Every structure is written in C-alpha cells, then in structure tokens.
Structure 1
Amino acid sequence: MELSTTRHGDMAIATVIATRIDAAAAIAFKDAVRAAVADGPDHVVLDLRQVTFVDSSGLGAIVAAMKGMGAGRRLDLAGLTPDVAKVFRLTRMDKVFVIHDDPDRLIARATG
C-alpha cells in the first residue's frame, strides 16, 4: 500500500495511492498510515479520492489508523468516492469521522 504525504501548515494530507482498501490490503494500509503520520502534525487528512472500494476489513483498518493517532491528534477523511461514502453511511462511520468533500479546499484553507 502506498501513501503520498504532504504537509500544509499544521496539517498533513496522506493520499492513498490505491483503488481498494480490503482484506488483502488492510495490514499494509495500517502500517503505511502509521509510518506516514508518525512524526507529522496533530491533524492528518486521509485523501481517499482514488479509493473506489472499501470492505469491512478496510473500514476496520481506517478506524485502527484513527485510534493509532493517539490522544490530541485527529484523523479526518476527504474525497470519498460515492461507493466508499455509501459504506461509511451504512456503517454510521460518517458520524465517527469528520469527512470533507474536497482535500484541495482544505489545502487552500491551511496555506492561506
């Protein structure tokens, strides 16, 4: 699983470079997120624009990544495709995560 991480002020954007977060990719995803945010800012946004499929293992991996952030840190999501957004709505995880429509707007806001 590949992530591309960029820092914008006091926020980092971690872009998932994959179309699926499923059982086959869940462990690699958790490890990649942990490595990407280890020394980063307290606010991390996971850019999921390229992800078109998330299963229950993938959803669990995203939740584990959020819990792994630790106290005082926050993991938001952005750019959910319609199918991925549906999974978050059906599981009510859209109430757990802050979900932004467009990561580019967040970057513009963070950089002034």
Structure 2
Amino acid sequence: MNLYAEAHNGALFVRVGEERLDAAVAIRFKDQMREIAAQPAHRIVLDLGQVIFLDSSGLGAIVSVMKALAPRKIELVALTPNVEKVFRLTRMDSVLKIHPTMKAAIMGEGMRDVG
C-alpha cells in the first residue's frame, strides 16, 4: 500500500498511490492511515486521483478511518469516475466533503457533492 503524506497549513494531504482500493489492501490502508494520521492536523484530505477501482472493502476502510479519526474530518479529492460512482450510489457523497481538484482542497474551495 503506497500512501504519501504532506502537511500544509494545518492540514494533512494523503495521496493513495494505488489503482485499487479493495479487499486485498483495505487492512493495510487502514493501518497506514492511522499511523499517518498520528500527525497533528485539523483536517485530512485523501487524494484518490490514482484509484480507478473501489469496492465495498475499500469504502469500508475509508469509513473506518473516518470514524477512528473523529472529530477530525476526512475530505476527498480528485475522484475518478468509477470511484465517484461508488460514493454516489452509497450516498457517502453526502457524508464526506469532496473537492474536484487538489488546488480546491488546499484553498478550501470548490467543495461539491458528486451526486
């Protein structure tokens, strides 16, 4: 599982460097996210721009991390069409803030629902 983290203006930006976030990597994703999120940050922005496949295990891993890190918020950025569809169909797009681009996420602008 390749996760790359960078702190910027009190936020932690984490890029998922995998094409698939599925049952094969979900546990490693959760474990690494918990380690990375030990850094102080008021918000965590998860860049899913390289992820082209997300199954229920991957979605569950993101939700699990979201719950574990509360009250800090997890935001998503750069969803690919297939991943965006999963969030829309499960209505998780109404639970998580989604930014269209990394620039919008950094600026705190351009938040949108994917639905």
What TM-score results when the alignment is normalised by the length of structure 1? Answer: 0.91
The more displaced of 51-60 and 33-42 is 33-42
Residue 11 (structure 1) aligns with: 11
Q: Percent identity?
A: 48
Runs of 4+ residues over 3 Å off in structure 1: none
| Equivalence map 1:13-92=2 (5 Å) | 13-71=13-71, 73-92=72-91
Unaligned runs of 5+ in 1: none
Counting matched residue pairs gives 108
Report the AA paired with residue 5 of structure 2: T
Aligned to 2:2: 2
* Superposed CA offset, 1:4-23 (max 9, x none): 00111111110001010101
- Choose between structure 1 and 2 for higher RCO, CA contacts under 8 A separated by at least 6 residues: 1
Q: What do residues 9-56 of structure 1 show as CA deviations (whole Å, max 9, x unaligned)? A: 111110001010101110001011111111230101000000000000
Q: Aligned equivalents of 1:106 and 1:59: distance in 2?
A: 20
TM-score (norm 2): 0.89
2: CA distance, partners of 1:49 / 1:31 = 20
Cα distance in 1 for residues equivalent to 2:4 and 2:34: 13
Q: In structure 1, how many angstroms separate the alpha carbons of the residues matched to 2:103 and 2:16?
A: 15
Is the contact made by 2:77 and 2:105 (CA closer than 8 Å) also made in structure 1?
no
Q: RMSD value over aligned CA atoms?
A: 1.1
Q: Which has the higher helix share?
A: 1
Rounded Cα–Cα distance in structure 1 between residues aligned with 2:58 and 2:40: 23
Deviation at 1:102, TM superposition (A): 0.4
Distance in 2 (alpha carbons) for counterparts of 1:40 and 1:32 = 15
Secondary structure of 2:45 counterpart: strand
